Amino acid sequence: MSLDSVRVRFAPSPTGPLHLGGIRTALYNYLFAKKHNGAFILRIEDTDQKRFVKSSESYILEALKWCNIEPDEGVGYGGHYFPYYQSKRLDVYRTYVNKLLKKGNAYYAFDIDLDQKRKEYNHRGLIFSYNSKIRMDLNNSLTMTEKQLHDKLRSCSYVIRFKIEPGEKLKMYDIIRGNIIVDTDNLDDKVLLKSDGVATYHLANTIDDYLMKITHVIRGEEWLPSMSLHVLLYRALGWTPPNFAHLPLILRNNGKGKISKRNTDSFNFPIYPIQWKIPKTKVVIPGYRELGYFPEAFVNMLALLGWNPGIKREIFSLQELINLFSLEKITKSGVYFNIKKANWFNKKYLNKKQEEIFVFLSKKIKTHSIFFKKNYLWKVIYLTMDRIHFIHEIWEHSFYFFISPSFYEASFFKKICNEKTIVQLENAKKILLCNINLNQFTSINLRCLFKTIKNKHQIMQLFRFSLVGSLKGIDIFIILEMLGKEESMRRVEKLINQIKEKI
């Protein structure tokens, strides 16, 4: 088919926040639409009122905006095919279900509460399913006269089920998975209209995809088992089905299965693009945005989670992703999520954001009411940049260039809390004071000087501890040079006093 008029949709149910898998589905739809100058549509599938969560819609819109993958059409964006909420299209579904009833592709079923039946089957080690094998033994319009049906409809509640014709090997094609054959003997007669008159996902989704002229259905693998039902629904309504592409699952790299909306507690990595406030408890779960990930890095990482452009590069702008994207290059099997890789992506983008780091650091310094020359700040940034993955990390890796440590790392402090250390620190101080004057206080000179010192490693460690407050930080000679002789000596003095106080 011609790809000129590509129309794809992201069709979330507003049952909570989007997780990584959901946002990746939106991204792939977006990339595909943009690649083919098509339209990316946002439809809210809100027929299941029991699971409806009010704040999900604004969450979805905000998350897409943050990722810079905004829809062309749909909820929040308008368009010809409105309304884009399924809850506002119930009459439309009713019309089509009536057509299906008339053509004999659907039937009324009065046995709504099937729990007892399920239990009985369970006892016998069987699974109950309302299908072509048993529907003629059940309480439905296929097993009664017109008159009986008429009476029943007036007095009883009912659902409307799709009538699957057995005995067919249904051939289908999925762009990612290739040919798929399903034996219709194994399908059950799914409910299309619930007893409250509301369409189920299957009916509403199929009708809307057709009416909204969707050309490609790109969605998660969890919907693959529904594909046969949807294809049969299209056929029953006399419509040509769209193209289908079912995306691989995103798996947790601890082997504990897939990432899903209902299973978000046990992750040791963020699962939401932006923060989610749990409506009941008001607990806020931070998302990638709040944790300091750049949207470009997040989107870049997500794009490669199940798709591979086949070239040896990993950093792509959104426009490059659009140019390279193809559904055929999406992997079939589940993909493992790796937070280290996500951080790696952020780092790559961070390297190009030095101005932002500068602004962040300047603000941080202001909050401490201290002043430093621009040049000094830039130097600090160059010296510590390679240690950070996020802008906010710059402070914990560089504070000691600006302020004296306000506390010392406890276990090492305990270890050195003795007279011997005081003597060592006093000696070290003397070495510096006698051998090196103010304008020679450079890392090169200091390095040379230390070569001749006995116990140099121990002394260097003590210097580091005095200046940084822990054994962390960059090259000690550079720290000494940056802080200068006077400030360095002050900090050594401070540590000596702290030890004296404790012993």
Between CA 411 and CA 418, with CA 413 as vertex, the angle to 5 degrees is 125
Q: Which CB, 44 or 335, lies closer to ligand GLU?
A: 44
Instruction: Name the amino acid, one letter, at 199.
Output: A
Q: What is the DSSP letter of 307?
A: B
Q: From the candidates 194, 261, 348, 364, which is the catalytic residue?
A: 261
Does 219 help bind ligand GLU (rule: CB under 6 A)? yes
Does 200 help bind ligand GLU (rule: CB under 6 A)? no
Residues 6+ apart with CB under 8 A from 149: 108, 141
Among positions 205, 343, 346, 488, the unique one binding ligand GLU when judged by CB under 6 A: 205
Residues 6+ apart with CB under 8 A from 140: 107, 108, 109, 110, 111, 161
Minimum distance from residue 45 beta carbon to ligand GLU (Å): 4
Does 228 help bind ligand GLU (rule: CB under 6 A)? no
Give the end-to-end CA distance of the chain in Å, rounded to a whole number.
83
**Among the residue ranges 5-13, 26-34, 238-246, 433-441, the one whose residues contact ligand GLU (CB under 6 A):** 5-13
**Known active-site residue 50:** no
Does 223 help bind ligand GLU (rule: CB under 6 A)? yes
Q: What is the DSSP letter of 260?
A: B
Alpha helix ranges (H) inside 170-274: 201-211, 227-236
Minimum distance from residue 5 beta carbon to ligand GLU (Å): 20
Cβ atoms of residues 201 and 44 within 8 Å: no
**Among the residue ranges 7-15, 128-136, 371-379, 396-404, the one whose residues contact ligand GLU (CB under 6 A):** 7-15
Number of residues that bind ligand GLU (CB under 6 A): 7
Closest by CA to 431, choosing from 418, 451, 449, 458, is 449
Residues 286-325 touching ligand GLU, rule: CB under 6 A, are none
Minimum distance from residue 227 beta carbon to ligand GLU (Å): 10
Q: Which CB, 18 or 416, lies closer to ligand GLU?
A: 18
Minimum distance from residue 171 beta carbon to ligand GLU (Å): 21
**Among the residue ranges 8-16, 119-127, 331-339, 359-367, the one whose residues contact ligand GLU (CB under 6 A):** 8-16
What whole-number distance in Å separates Cα of residue 231 and Cα of residue 209? 12
What whole-number distance in Å separates Cα of residue 281 and Cα of residue 36? 43
Residues 37-66 touching ligand GLU, rule: CB under 6 A, are 45
What whole-number distance in Å separates Cα of residue 178 and Cα of residue 331? 12
Among positions 8, 12, 208, 399, the unique one binding ligand GLU when judged by CB under 6 A: 12
Cβ atoms of residues 476 and 400 within 8 Å: no
Q: Which residue is nearest to ligand GLU (CB)?
A: 219
Closest by CA to 246, choosing from 215, 213, 223, is 223
Does 77 help bind ligand GLU (rule: CB under 6 A)? no
Minimum distance from residue 176 beta carbon to ligand GLU (Å): 14
Among positions 6, 7, 8, 13, the unique one binding ligand GLU when judged by CB under 6 A: 13
Q: Which CB, 13 or 398, lies closer to ligand GLU?
A: 13
Kindly report the length of the chain. 503
What whole-number distance in Å separates Cα of residue 370 and Cα of residue 363? 10
Q: For residue 8, give the 3-state DSSP assignment.
A: strand
Residues within the interface to ligand GLU (CB under 6 A):
11-13, 45, 205, 219, 223
Catalytically active residues are 261
